[in-house]
Amino acid sequence: MELPGIYGHLGEYGKVLSASQDGNSIRAEVQLGFHAATAMTRFSAHIEQQLRAEFAAEDVSVELTSKVVAHEVQGTLKPAANIRNVIAVASGKGGVGKSTVAANLALALAADGARVGMLDADIYGPSLPQMLGLNGKVPDSADGKTMNPLVAHSLQVMSIGFLVDQDQPMVWRGPMVTSALSQLFNQTNWDDLDYLIVDMPPGTGDIQLTLSQQIPVSGAVIVTTPQHIATLDARKGLAMFRKVSIEVLGVIENMSTHICSSCGHEDTIFGSGGGDRIAADFEVSLLGQLPLDAKIREQADGGMPTVAAMPESAITAAYIGAAQRMAAKLAARPRNYSSKFPNIVVEEKK
């Protein structure tokens, strides 16, 4: 059984907690591995319809719940304290709207009931303070060693942009940049997150290497536009994550079509099929195709991204659909059980 709009079988990203049949009556409790508050009624109705058809039952009731757990990360790393899953959003190339997509994906996850944080890993060009309406804000610290994330639109947020003047250039060499990323990740008091979305800088350099070696990542998402030039770099980014053993959850094609603000006409001004080709060549899912719309840019510039500004819009529905497919792909991955094992200490007998 597949849920509408979600890739894969229900058994891959959910489980049946209980089920019983008494004559023409069926009762079942099903738990999804991702939150989907905006779609739970639709999903429940779909499951009930499928059960009626399969078992010829008249009275079917399904209780649908959700729970997010920690999933496997790369190498010998373990999930961070208070963060069940870290998801990197990368592009390989600048100018494809990656940060806007990352922010709206995070907001979409939160709209579905998840506890979500965002880490701005673009040390040289942080954009989340502006995009989330947090310019000029400074995180506080109770002990002088760790920082509390700022909160915007229910997201916990940390960025180097909170700690330096917005006009100050970050003229740092690689070791300083990677040290800054590690500090932002490890010295922020993240509070019980289902997902930490990491907005990656473009390219495949020091930040990406640090991420793969020091930060436990459950999965990555590649953002591209349909344009051939953009997909060339996106392919490199996808291959890089695979080389460092980070699971790629899928590809998101941004600016897939342009929507005219005057008449609503859609036009593929950046071409078409770029995301589909990458997904097919690397055997990953195309998680979503998002439009190029003037409102998306205006809302991000104004500190109120589209999912927060227009929660009932078709554009928000596209972001939520992409976020649900991304979360379902992650939910289908093996769980991480490291937190279940006790620490074993070997002491020399005196």
Digit-coded pLDDT (tens) for 119-168? 999 888 889 999 999 998 999 998 989 999 999 999 999 999 998 877 67
**pLDDT value for 255:** 92
CA 297 to mean position of chain CA atoms? 20
From 291, 39, 307, 37, select the one nearest 152 (Cα to Cα). Answer: 307
CB 279 within 8 A of CB 286: yes
CB 101 within 8 A of CB 253: no
Domains and CATH numbers, the chain: 10-66 (no CATH), 83-331 (3.40.50.300)
**pLDDT value for 345:** 55
**pLDDT value for 170:** 67
**pLDDT value for 344:** 52
pLDDT in tens, 60-75: 999 999 999 999 999 8
**pLDDT value for 268:** 81
**pLDDT value for 339:** 59
**pLDDT value for 258:** 85
How many other CB atoms are there within 10 angstroms of residue 257's CB atom? Answer: 18
Torsion, Cα 245 246 252 253, to 10 degrees, reads -40
Which residues of the chain fall short of a pLDDT of 70?
167, 169-171, 339-350
**pLDDT value for 350:** 56
**pLDDT value for 76:** 87
CB 35 within 8 A of CB 327: yes
**pLDDT value for 342:** 57
**pLDDT value for 317:** 97
What is the pTM (predicted TM-score) of this model? 0.92
**pLDDT value for 41:** 95
